[in-house]
């Protein structure tokens, strides 16, 4: 019989690190990755037959729970008419209409196959539209793995003593990313109003775009202050830079209208992914019509994709969006998570652990720290070693958390009642162990 370990050993022979996306390898928590055989609702099962409550939902998409019967049916029906045509379909129009209806800042939208493609294309479009090269991103925000976005601030980048920033000290976070590209990316600390103002003061007329995770979920969950949100909108508008909300994670996850509906902000462009594909490879970028009109075939910014708007992905995505549009969906999701986090907080007090949590809609963060974080630095200072012990203790108890202290968690609408009770019982046992 296959075991997780035997499959991991075998996978490493033909696949680098044994996985097709790095965080699946458990390297930041140690141990053997679980090889999943099947999933249903709030649960999945590994190849050894062990059951887990799934708290990552494929890193966001599975907001309805796994293998929702209506989504499965929609995909089966679409599959009977073939998998891909390379020519337009009516379903793609329905998808675009649904997105533009749910996210009013999106006047026009283009479907793509991954979040990385969405952010990469949105940046090219912003550069084409403005005729500028420089982009601003924030420390701890992940926007997929396009070259320009894999940039980390060198510690010398932001020296405000004389209000001078040196772009040349930027360092790529991955080898293989040319320094020549990195020099066009300015990385600022998240939530740092002064740094943002100073950056625009110095570079404003050169900034093509500012891209941000409006609720950060790639350094665990970290929210921005209202002042910071307002400043991003005001400064980009003032300097004619394109404000890009990367809602690949937050779109249809934190609220039906995304983080922008909670912020009361109209970005110029928005990137979507994850939930909108219902677990299939689909993503999108869209926004102001005058900007979107710059895209090929009508404009001179090129972007294309063999599988863009794939019929099976559109069937899964559209059915998912219809099901999350039911009134009360996000209130229910949010209330269930609140019950869970309040319970975990009480158990932490009883067990004597420093513990904090946060959530927005169906996305949550837990921190072994006295209070909620505001920056990457705050997360780094939390008790990461304790998180690792907690992760494994929870795994033993049948709860699969994100295998890193730097990741947010995602629950589905099917994480309710007895599922939450089981998670709390697991937490109590895990808190006692660590
Ligand atoms: C905010 C954000 N943007 C972009 C991406 C990249 O999406 P994908 O993994 O589909 O390429 C991710 C992936 O986690 C993300 O969280």
pLDDT bracket for residue 160 (50, 70, 90): very low
Answer yes or no: 54 catalytic: no
Task: Please give the distance, rounded to the nearest whole angstrom, from the Cα atom of residue 418 to the centre of ligand 1.
Answer: 31
Residue whose CA is at the smallest distance from ligand 1 atom 8: 115
Residue bearing the bigger pLDDT, 350 or 175: 350
pTM above 0.85, yes or no: yes
Query: Which residue has 């559209």 as its token pair?
Result: 318
The answer on pLDDT for 159 being more than 90 is: no
Per the annotation, the verdict on 98 as an active-site residue is: no
With 0-12 / 13-18 / 19 or more C-beta atoms within 10 angstroms meaning exposed / middle / buried, residue 249 is buried
Domain 4-67+327-433 has CATH 3.90.1150.10: yes
Residue written as token pair 């007895």: 418
Residue for token digits 């998808």?
A: 95
Please name the residue whose Cα sits nearest to atom 7 of ligand 1. Answer: 115
Measured from the Cβ of residue 158, the count of other Cβ atoms closer than 10 Å reads 21
Give the distance (Å) from ligand 1 centre to CA of residue 274: 8
The residue from 43, 52, 142, 400 that is catalytic is 142
Give the span between the Cα atoms of 207 and 242, in whole angstroms. Answer: 8
pLDDT in tens, 245-303: 999 999 999 999 999 999 999 999 999 999 999 999 999 999 999 999 999 999 999 99
Ligand 1 mean position, distance from CA 247 (Å): 9
> Tell me, what's the pLDDT at 176?
84
pLDDT at residue number 163: 35
Distance CA 190, CA 260 (A): 17
Q: Which atom of ligand 1 is the closest one to the Cα of 217?
A: 16
Measure 431 CA to ligand 1 centroid, in angstroms.
Answer: 31
Instruction: Please state which architecture CATH assigns to domain 69-324.
Output: 3-Layer(aba) Sandwich (3.40)
DSSP codes joined into one string, 368-385 = SSSS--SSHHHHHTS-HH
**Do 4-67+327-433 and 69-324 come out as alike in CATH topology?**
no
Question: Structural domain boundaries of the chain?
Answer: 4-67+327-433, 69-324
In the annotation, is 142 catalytic?
yes
CA Rg, the chain, in Å? Answer: 22
Question: Which residue in the list 137, 152, 266, 274 is annotated as catalytic?
Answer: 274
Share of the chain above pLDDT 70, in %: 95
Q: If you average pLDDT over residues 7-32, what whole number do you get? A: 94
Cα(313)–Cα(324) distance, integer angstroms: 16
Mean pLDDT to the nearest integer, 371-378: 92
Task: Show the ligand 1 pocket: residues with CB < 6 angstroms.
Answer: 59, 114-116, 119, 142-144, 213, 217-218, 246, 248-249, 273, 283
Average pLDDT over residues 359-366: 98
Q: What is the DSSP letter of 57?
A: G
Lowest-confidence region among 158-172, 251-265, 346-360: 158-172
pLDDT score recorded for residue 156? 29
Asked whether the CA dihedral 173, 179, 185, 188 is positive or negative, the reply is: positive
Tell me what the mean pLDDT of segment 109-116 comes to: 98
Q: Please report the atom of ligand 1 found closest to the CA of residue 218.
A: 16
Report, as an integer, the average pLDDT of 347-375.
97
Mean of per-residue pLDDT scores for the chain? 94
> b vs e for 95-111, b when ≥16 Cβ sit within 10 Å of the residue's Cβ?
bbebbeebbebbebbbb
pLDDT band at 170 (very low <50, low <70, confident <90, very high): low
CA distance 33 to 8: 7
pLDDT above 60 (res 346): yes
Choose the catalytic residue: 192, 246, 268, 378. Answer: 246
Ligand 1 mean position, distance from CA 218 (Å): 9
């Amino acid at each position: 019989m296959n075991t997780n370990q035997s499959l991991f050993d075998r996978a490493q022979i033909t696949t680098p690190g044994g996985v097709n996306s790095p965080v699946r390898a458990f390297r930041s928590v140690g141990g053997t990755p679980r090889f999943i055989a099947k999933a249903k609702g709030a649960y999945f099962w590994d190849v050894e037959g062990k059951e887990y409550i799934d708290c990552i939902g494929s890193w966001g998409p599975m907001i309805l729970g796994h293998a929702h019967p209506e989504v499965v049916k929609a995909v089966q029906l679409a599959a009977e008419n073939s998998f891909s045509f390379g020519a337009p379909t009516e379903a793609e129009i329905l998808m675009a209409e649904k997105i533009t209806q749910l996210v009013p800042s999106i006047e026009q939208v283009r479907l793509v196959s991954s979040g990385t493609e969405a952010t990469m294309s949105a940046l090219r479009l912003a550069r084409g539209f403005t005729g500028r090269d420089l982009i601003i991103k924030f420390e701890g925000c992940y926007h997929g793995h396009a070259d320009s976005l894999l940039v980390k601030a060198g510690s010398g980048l932001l020296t405000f003593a004389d209000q001078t920033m040196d772009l040349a000290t930027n360092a790529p976070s991955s080898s293989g990313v040319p320094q020549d590209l990195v020099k066009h990316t300015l990385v600022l600390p998240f939530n740092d109003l002064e740094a943002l103002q100073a950056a625009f003061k110095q570079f404003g007329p050169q900034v093509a775009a500012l891209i941000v995770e409006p609720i950060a979920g790639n350094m665990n969950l970290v929210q921005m202050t209202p002042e910071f949100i307002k400043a991003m909108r005001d400064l980009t508008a003032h300097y004619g830079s394109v404000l890009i909300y990367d809602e690949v994670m937050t779109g249809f996850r934190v609220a039906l209208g995304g983080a922008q509906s909670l912020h009361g902000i109209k970005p110029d462009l928005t990137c979507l992914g994850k939930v909108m594909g219902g677990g299939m490879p689909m993503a999108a970028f869209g926004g102001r019509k005058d900007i979107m009109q710059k895209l090929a075939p009508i404009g001179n910014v090129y972007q294309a994709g063999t599988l863009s708007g794939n019929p099976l992905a559109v069937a899964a995505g559209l059915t998912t969006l219809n099901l999350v549009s039911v009134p009360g969906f996000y209130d229910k999701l949010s209330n269930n998570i609140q019950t869970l986090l309040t319970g975990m907080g009480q158990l932490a007090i009883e067990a004597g652990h420093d513990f904090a949590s946060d959530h927005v809609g169906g996305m949550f963060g837990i921190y072994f720290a006295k209070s909620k974080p505001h920056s990457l630095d705050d997360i780094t200072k939390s008790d990461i070693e304790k998180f690792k012990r907690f992760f494994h203790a929870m795994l033993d108890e049948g709860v699969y958390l994100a295998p890193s202290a730097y990741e947010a968690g995602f629950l589905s609408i099917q994480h309710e009642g007895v599922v939450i009770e089981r998670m709390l019982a697991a937490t109590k046992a895990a808190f006692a162990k660590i």
